[in-house]
Amino acid sequence: MKLEGRVRLPGFLLALRFLALVLWSFPGARALDNGLAMTPTMGWLHWERFMCNVDCQEEPDSCISEKLFMQMAELMESDGWKDVGYEYLCIDDCWMAPKRDSEGRLQADPKRFPRGIRHLADYVHSKGLKLGIYADVGNKTCAGFPGSFGHYDIDAKTFADWGVDLLKFDGCYCDSVEHLEKGYKRMSLALNRTGRSIVYSCEWPLYVWPFRKPNYTEIRQYCNHWRNFEDVYDSWQSVKSILAWTSFNQKRIVDVAGPGGWNDPDMLVIGNFGLSWDQQVTQMALWAIMAAPLLMSNDLRHISPQAKALLQDKDVIAINQDPLGKQGYRLRKEDNIEVWERPLSDLAWAVAMVNLQEMGGPRFHTISIASLGQGLACIPDCMITQLLPEKRKLGFYQWTSDLKTKINPTGTVLLRLAAT
């Protein structure tokens, strides 16, 4: 039910909205005190798209090399990625030489990174971007390169000396949960001691979950974001499983997220091969609702205009980067339709409706406005704007109204509800 005019706000409703603002602004668990990642990290990470391709002779354009990262840096600057917030260009596994140098320091593979990481960092910085790098808490990285166990201080200093701005710290080849947890803490402290601002991306809870429930309050005190679930793949089944895990565990993980520390559902695979258009819309919309780091893993040299426009959608990015810093959650699921919502600053809300049905055509779904935003999103009315799959104003809606939407199979309708 659209409204052409505005309704005067009764005093008790105004009080309710003020109370909601106070409650949503209340800080959560104490975060890592390095002043970084006050909104979710945005950038590009090589792993899902390029994996551990080290064969530069046969595949010079897609191997893990200085050339690849310099090309991506050029495109992040020239093609508008940096301008909308994608700031970190991140190296994942397989950048290292097989052995440390004579002084015990990590070193880049001399053939694939002939001028070293310091040179690459300088180049990335010259583009107005920041450089991320990868290491592992255990004896070896997941791909078998030298791990940081027993070398936390020297590795942190090496990364700082190189001008690194983010560390993704994996958890392979660690002989016990105790060593793994101590290692994550030690590297966090070592990074801070360098005096350089380095975002700390952990996989701590991912490796603890098989043994016990992670202590997220503690993890947040050491990490800027943390992986909880298995690697994303370029498939709908993978994206769907991440969403299912997140909603199943949301009571444990949602409240701990906030400025300085975020749950990380892994990379955006938009612009690759495995997702339909509607599924790409779903990933972008739900990563925004979840206040997730937006780390693309795709080939920016060969990305469709449609995928580029989705990844650079300023309205959706604004939801992801909202300064209130509250992670969204699944509100309900019924008949293969999920409704997710997220509180935003200025008493606004983001709402995503996902059609998980994989057969048939688009489905209509009707929802009561009063059920959204814990009953406070539209008191007494609000302006609703659809952001995805395409932007259009839906108009003013009363608290007592219903909203009817049409959702494609495996697709999502993303809405912004603004208090009036």
Beta partners for 339?
A: 332, 353
Q: Which residues contact 215 (CB under 8 A, 6 or more apart)?
A: none
Beta partners for 130?
A: 88
pLDDT classification of 1: cutoffs 50, 70, 90: very low
- 90-104 pLDDT, tens digit per residue, is 999 999 999 999 999
Tokens of 415: 């809405």
- The DSSP string of 334-396 is ETTEEEEEEE-GGG-EEEEEEE---SSS-EEEEEEGGGSGGGTTTSSEEEEEEEESS-EEEEE
How high is the pLDDT of residue 33?
A: 81
CA dist 61 and 57 (Å) reads 9
Residue 278's identity, in one-letter code, is D
How high is the pLDDT of residue 28?
A: 55
Tell me, what DSSP letter sits at residue 84? G
What Å distances lie between residue 335 and 338, 356, 371, 402, CA to CA?
Answer: 8, 9, 17, 18
- 353-408 pLDDT, tens digit per residue, is 999 999 999 999 999 999 999 999 999 999 999 999 999 999 999 999 999 999 99
CA dist 301 and 298 (Å) reads 9
Helix H or strand E encompassing 2: strand 2-3
Question: What would the mean pLDDT of 284-306 be, rounded to a whole number?
Answer: 98
Residue 116 has pLDDT above 70, yes or no: yes
155 catalytic residue (yes or no):
no
- 243-260 pLDDT, tens digit per residue, is 999 999 999 999 999 999
How high is the pLDDT of residue 247?
A: 98
Query: Per the residue annotation, which of 161, 231, 255, 315 is the catalytic one?
Result: 231
Closest CA to 86 of 395, 320, 355: 320
Between 161 and 31, whose confidence is greater?
161
Question: pTM for this one?
Answer: 0.94
Using alpha carbons only, how large is the chain's radius of gyration in Å? 22
Tokens of 201: 């991306």
Sign of the alpha-carbon torsion through 113, 114, 117, 119 = negative
Q: Which residues contact 245 (CB under 8 A, 6 or more apart)?
A: 228, 229
Residue 29 has pLDDT above 90, yes or no: no
- 224-234 pLDDT, tens digit per residue, is 999 999 999 99
End-to-end CA separation in angstroms for the chain? 16
How high is the pLDDT of residue 224?
A: 98
Query: Per the residue annotation, which of 170, 264, 266, 381 is the catalytic one?
Result: 170
Question: What would the mean pLDDT of 53-60 be, rounded to a whole number?
Answer: 98
170 catalytic residue (yes or no):
yes
Residue 30 has pLDDT above 80, yes or no: no
Closest CA to 198 of 151, 150, 174, 162: 162
Question: What would the mean pLDDT of 315-342 be, rounded to a whole number?
Answer: 98
Q: Which domains does the chain have, with CATH numbers?
A: 42-321 (3.20.20.70), 329-419 (2.60.40.1180)
- Decide: residue 74, CB within 10 A, 0-12 exposed, 13-18 middle, 19+ buried: middle
CB 225 within 8 A of CB 202: yes
Average pLDDT, the chain: 94
CB 92 within 8 A of CB 141: no
How high is the pLDDT of residue 403?
A: 96
Q: Which residues contact 31 (CB under 8 A, 6 or more apart)?
A: 220, 221, 224, 258, 259, 260, 261
pLDDT classification of 419: cutoffs 50, 70, 90: confident
CA contacts within 13 A on the Cβ side of 303: 24
Question: What would the mean pLDDT of 64-75 be, rounded to a whole number?
Answer: 98
